[in-house]
Structure 1
Amino acid sequence: MAGKAVKSVAKAVGGYQYPWQEKLAKYKDELSKGVWGYWELGAWKPLSISARHRARLRKEVLLSGADWEYDPARKEMKTKRKGHKVDRLAAEKRERTKELMEGMPQMLADYKKRKWEQKMKAEEDAAKKTLQE
């Protein structure tokens, strides 16, 4: 009598542990057939375990630290963007302008150097022309 009382108190204190190992072993072949059901001989057959019980079993397995390999493979995410193309292009243009503005002092220095070289070359050509005449 005392043993039963101790067991019931221990069970009440420790909380009810869902026996997921036993359930997982019982429904292992059923879970591997798919999440919602499967086709067999041209007919759709739902799983013998309900979605609620499947979700509860999955949760218990994951909480215990074990792996749950019965989820279907996730599809690749869509890369198509939503929204207006104008907004996206405007943002890209602003980024490009910002990058160009950071390099602007060097660009101006290069431009001034090229113009100065052109001016010097033109003066040299003019000087050569006057010497030849």
Structure 2
Amino acid sequence: MAGNAAKTVARTVVEYQYPWREKLAKYKDELAKGVYGYWELGAWKPLSISARRRAQLRKEVLLAGENWPYDPERKEMKTRRKGHKCDRISAEKRAHTVELMEKMPQMLADYRKRRWEKKMKEEDAKEKL
């Protein structure tokens, strides 16, 4: 009799100490379905546990030093800086212009060569007539 009472008291103390274990066991399947809800047969189903209670349970588990595997994956951080779009575009245009100016002598040489070849073809065509 004393042994049963001691077990009951010990179980009560453990339950009081870790009340989140029962809740976690109860909602384990539900939490695994997603953070906000899930699609089932083409219809959106919200979780049976509210967001407030879910957050409270998550906090209790983390404070106890346990792992909480039900958080969604984090998205990658955006690396683009803030600012005006016109400033970014004008900077890109200036950089592109610098690249083109570096290629300019070769482009002019190609243009002159094409123009010269065209002129020679026209002269050959006139001579053949």
Give me the TM-score of the superposition, normalised by structure 1: 0.50
Gap runs ≥5 in structure 2:
1-8, 92-129
Mapped to 2, the partners of 1:67 and 1:29 lie a distance apart of 16
User: Match for residue 20 of structure 2?
Assistant: 20
State the secondary structure of the residue aligned to 1:60: helix
SS in 1 for 2:83: coil
Aligned residues: 75
Deviation at 1:36, TM superposition (A): 0.6
Whole-Å separation in 2 of the counterparts to 1:64 and 1:18 = 8
> Which structure 2 residues correspond to residues 119-130 of structure 1 after superposition, within 5 A?
none
Percent of pairs with identical residues: 78
1:67 aligns with 2:63: no
What is the CA deviation profile of residues 110-129 of structure 1, one whole-angstrom value per residue up to 9, with x for unaligned ones? Answer: xxxxxxxxxxxxxxxxxxxx
Runs of 4+ in 1 over 4 A off after TM superposition: none
Q: Is 1:32 aligned to 2:50, yes or no? A: no
Which secondary structure state, in structure 2, belongs to the residue aligned with residue 44 of structure 1? strand
Q: For 1:68-111, what per-residue CA distance to the aligned partner results, in whole angstroms no more than 9, with x for missing partners?
A: 0100001001111102447xx8xxxxxxxxxxxxxxxxxxxxxx
- Name the larger-Rg structure: 1
Please list the CA deviations of residues 46-85 of structure 1 after superposition, one character each: whole Å capped at 9, or x if unmatched. 0000111100000000000001010000100111110244
Corresponding residue SS for 2:76: coil
TM-score (norm 2): 0.52
